[in-house]
Chains A and B, each alone.
Chain A
């Protein structure tokens, strides 16, 4: 259960028993499985397996419905078996029950019996497995199926020289390895199950839908006479153990080994096989040497590993042992199942690593879900995860690399070829783990070292800034409280400060074409109405034109509250026209809110005057407060008649931004800072900028995406995703209020944030009226269209429950409305609403619905209604076409 919620499992770290059962049966030759239950179980399991193995997975279902649930599913199951035999012709059928079948009490052995009575010649071997999904997990299900197989196969009890090898859920590639190992040791064996071919097939000229690989019934029948069983599982309970059964029923002695993963457990298996008469596998012993060599080569990197290991008990145990022998610390070990002595066995392993690394805490969790794993992963300092792709959400969220090596792997290819068995499989897995650690380090150590050790040179501008401010403050502090109050009030009706839901509109006046700095992300270009981004506008207005436009827009948009000056250049670069525009509009409308955007270079110069002109809101785009970073963003800065480049330019700009903002806030202006997030340039620096903005008394910061502009310096800079922006905003939200709804409006935007209407106010006054055309001679027709899809004329006239009504006028086709037939039901007999109408009643209603139309379009129509329509002078057109085309064709015919 979850760490946070005791009564719920949040993001399960386990699957159901039928999943394990189906997987096990895939290791038999010419075998199919049917799940006795409702259709979904088999479909979900097929999807889960098909995505992991990249193989077709055919699992039948008895497709129980309400009926079968109430009266029993015998008929369904018998029918299902018959159909499977006909379609697939299998030798063996595994019959697994599901939650549903078990709960309604289905007796599968009895049903099998009845099947054999109906089909006396049946040769197919049925193997039933009791499996309610709610009982245990896929781990137990897998061994229950293996146990059921050995219990049901007819054994040849005569002694033979074979060794039974029973394995848990391993990959097809690992299964092939195991066979190679056994062959190279010259051990005669029977492998149960053998999924090596069935779940990792070849591409062949012809495809066989029944898996041809796997262990045959004939081989299985020899298991009872084998000289030894080796069962490769650590935690399988006695009642699920096939080895235990073979021992009890046929006296086959057995040895249990852990999966041969890592040095110790592979050694152990080889040694057991040698005792059973196997010869030393020379080639494989070379692999052993190479694995040891690799262990040494990477031990120092591995010691930095803090692993989260999750999955089935046997897998988790093997992965922990592999990590332990390589000095990787499993800080969290988690399984969704519950097993007897798992905890003690794991503790032993983990404690050893913890001791030498002086790590004082680790966790071993049973019946665990991913919610819990996620909660602890950070706390326990994890830097790598090992398990199935179910860990991918944590990988994404916490940026913890995940080594995918267990079922299921849904987001990468090659699940069927994942290796971890034997020396070379262990080496392969170890390399993947080590390399993940190395990649992580390579990507992060520069930044980490920089943050930890690098201290910036003294060059802080704040001394200067304080001087400027304190001097001016003395003079400007009258009525500050009043100004602040008034400006706060204006903020309430400012859409940019209130979000998209705001009912208030704003207009941006494009009056300022000049700019005094060159940002690397900007190419000043006019007349690009397709792009909405700051600095792009259609027309540049003179102050007088701007005032005229304001008046015109105000008439059209009474909710207009804010006039913004946002470029397309810098609003302070040509202060004359800005000043003039503001005073003209102020004279027209003293209540208006002025909002001004600037790069801040000249803000110290004009802040006081802006306050006097009634500007209440100032936005400064400030992308950095560090000159090194700033020099990467700004190409040059034109200041006091000189052009400054590099860090000098950036330093001038920043000093002025800071003092300008400080001055503005001290005058009671509401200040916002815009920050353009530039990947690889200022992304890590943004919180510092936000801190600074807060310190200067800003209200809010707006972290924006870079909109790359062709031809600009930053044309090819990597895009910042919405997600990254949101993440940065969230992070900075703890410092200062963030703007989450920025639309990056055009410099001539008009309207509410959600509805730009600038296109309607372009050009001269009075041009908006749509030209009236001469329509005297044109005809008007109404058409009723019978359509199911709403896109095509694709329905029988008589089947229509509604009609799409189109008007044809002036050669233009317009959709008018959708008419529901039920609304035209005039109470005639048999017409009791749509569902219950009888045929005649419905036809009456339909005819009523279309009676004012000139034509009816349908895919098909009967003779009788056609006649009736004709009597009412309504033409019929039968066609199959897109509605618009069909109406056009029909109208043209009517026109003639």
Chain B
């Protein structure tokens, strides 16, 4: 079947500009708008965005107020790990049925919250609103407030009806929920240390980052939200500095915390050798002493040296290959383009579900005019451009994997379900190995005949 690009989609697709310098006349990519109906967008919904951000809070009851599907499809599907409670790996649903749609689900929700509090005495409950709740008009906020008042347990309403925006809007709703949780604790005395925002402890990545910070003598106050708990989160306002990693989901929270709690933030990245090293030194410089800086420099140098021969060995297998990237946010896409460049791999197609205009500007200046950049791509477009540009490997989410395989293209899992860490120096090794083992697997020689 021939590749087709719908006319209405053409504005969402541009080319790179690295090699043509600043070209102010070229039309900017269209992005950050509603998905085009019927095109099989790879995006999810507001609820999904909110759930992704909050789910790693390990000792919270995550109640999905709505029909069963929303809870069923998000039950324990993320690779966020815990060092404490396992509660977050369960999926609680009010399982609304016909009757509830007609008469409203408030009573059921109130009873559910009441029951949980009585039987489990939890510290924290999140109640996610789904599409249907937005339509039948349940006042979830009121139910939550009432339960809080009655029992003194934190019950926080997450305003996430699926249709009320896109996934990034869900991130924002999650950030609001976190703010609501920590706001009563904002007048704590400051202690030395940082909060880490925007890492979700996939395959233990938060632990890796914390280990690095321990090496350089920087204490961590709260992690948001990887491997966090109610108790650790409410300490967050005591930190001196916020480190923001997944900028798409967490810059909003960092800004709010800066305004309301006086905690400055810096953006950092733990993807790739250079980013990881620069970030650690930056953190030491931002709040540490001379000693911390020395430690950071010594530590990053040592790690970098360890990786040099590793990278040399692998580069031979990777140089000259072509990559396609289709991921959730701009931050990840940008860091992937650069990581590929460190390996000698050129990015020929790059796109995101929720990238912002500024993200695309960066991408445009990172890649050449032969590279296709697309926002909110659909399978037909991914297929067309991967074929046209001769991509050897695709980095993407679970839904994209079978497409790549059908097209005979290697694949790298850079998603929330993965079971191997991609952050930090350890992540560089894992990432490089994964790229190599898929790209150079003998199966391709067999099937391509």
Contact = CB atoms under 8 A, between A and B. Distances in A.
B56 interface: no
Contacts, number: 310
A837 to B, nearest CB: 15
B48 A40 contact: yes
B394 interface: no
Contact of B72 (A14, A55, A135, A860): A14
B406 A201 contact: yes
Contact of B401 (A42, A50, A65): A50
Contacts of A132: 67, 98, 101
Interface residues of A, number: 109
Given A68-B163, A103-B101, A8 B115 contact: yes
Nearest to A789: B267
B281 to A, nearest CB: 8
A68 B35 CA distance: 13
Contacts of A61: 35, 37-38, 40-41
A147 interface: no
B129 interface: no
B399 A815 contact: no
Most buried by A among B34, B258, B293: B34
B112 A7 contact: yes
Most buried by A among B1, B164, B166, B295: B1
A63 B34 contact: yes
Interface string B278-294: 11011001100011011
Contact of B163 (A7, A16, A66, A757): A66
Contacts of B98: 132, 134-135
Given A99-B131, A103-B101, A880-B365, A87 B39 contact: yes
Interface stretch (B145-153, B268-276, B311-319): B268-276
A88 B397 CA distance: 22
Given A38-B162, A65-B165, A755-B217, A883 B406 contact: no
B142 interface: no
Contact of B115 (A7, A53, A788): A7
Interface string B236-274: 000000001001000000000010000011111100001
Interface stretch (A206-214, A322-330, A573-581): A206-214
B66 interface: yes
Given A68-B163, A69-B135, A134 B75 contact: no
A818 B265 contact: yes
A792 B163 CA distance: 35
A89 B1 contact: yes
A81 B38 contact: yes
B162 A789 contact: no
A840 interface: no
Interface stretch (A72-80, A375-383, A438-446, A475-483): A72-80
B48 A43 contact: yes
A79 B95 contact: no
A463 interface: no
B438 interface: no
A100 B267 CA distance: 38
Contact of A51 (B45, B162, B166, B398): B398
Nearest to B112: A7
Given A11-B90, A89-B1, A201-B406, A790 B244 contact: yes
B399 A50 contact: yes
Contact of A56 (B36, B268, B291, B379): B379
Nearest to B86: A397
A788 B68 contact: no
A12 B68 contact: yes
Contacts of A518: none
B269 A10 contact: no
B63 interface: yes
Given A100-B135, A103-B132, A209 B36 contact: no
B344 interface: no
Contacts of A104: 135
Interface string B332-357: 00110000000000000000000000
Most buried by B among A80, A82, A207: A207
A82 B7 CA distance: 12
Contacts of A209: 1, 379-380, 383
A135 B36 contact: no
Interface in A805-830: 814-818, 820
A757 B1 CA distance: 65
A38 B45 contact: yes
Contacts of B63: 8
A234 interface: no
Interface in A94-137: 98-100, 103-104, 132-135, 137
A837 B4 CA distance: 42
Contacts of B275: 791
Contacts of A68: 163
A688 interface: no
Most buried by B among A58, A76, A804: A58
Nearest to B218: A755
A7 to B, nearest CB: 4
A39 B182 CA distance: 31
A77 B38 CA distance: 8
A210 B34 contact: no
Contacts of A64: 163
A755 B1 CA distance: 62
Contacts of A39: 35, 41, 43-45, 162, 166
A770 interface: yes
Contacts of A859: 361-362, 365
Nearest to B102: A103
Contacts of A757: 217
Given A38-B163, A770-B290, A799 B358 contact: yes
Given A61-B40, A99-B69, A788-B247, 5 more contacts: A58-B40, A63-B35, A103-B101, A103-B136, A815-B281
28 contacts: A5-B112, A7-B114, A12-B95, A19-B69, A38-B161, A44-B44, A45-B73, A47-B397, A47-B399, A60-B39, A62-B38, A65-B165, A81-B38, A84-B39, A98-B131, A100-B131, A103-B136, A134-B97, A134-B101, A203-B447, A207-B406, A788-B358, A791-B267, A794-B334, A804-B266, A814-B285, A859-B362, A880-B365
Interface of A: 1, 4-12, 14-16, 18-19, 34, 37-48, 50-51, 53-66, 68-69, 76-77, 79-84, 86-89, 98-100, 103-104, 132-135, 137, 201, 203, 207-210, 371, 390, 393, 410, 722, 754-755, 757, 759-760, 770, 787-792, 794-796, 799, 804, 814-818, 820, 859-860, 878, 880, 882-884
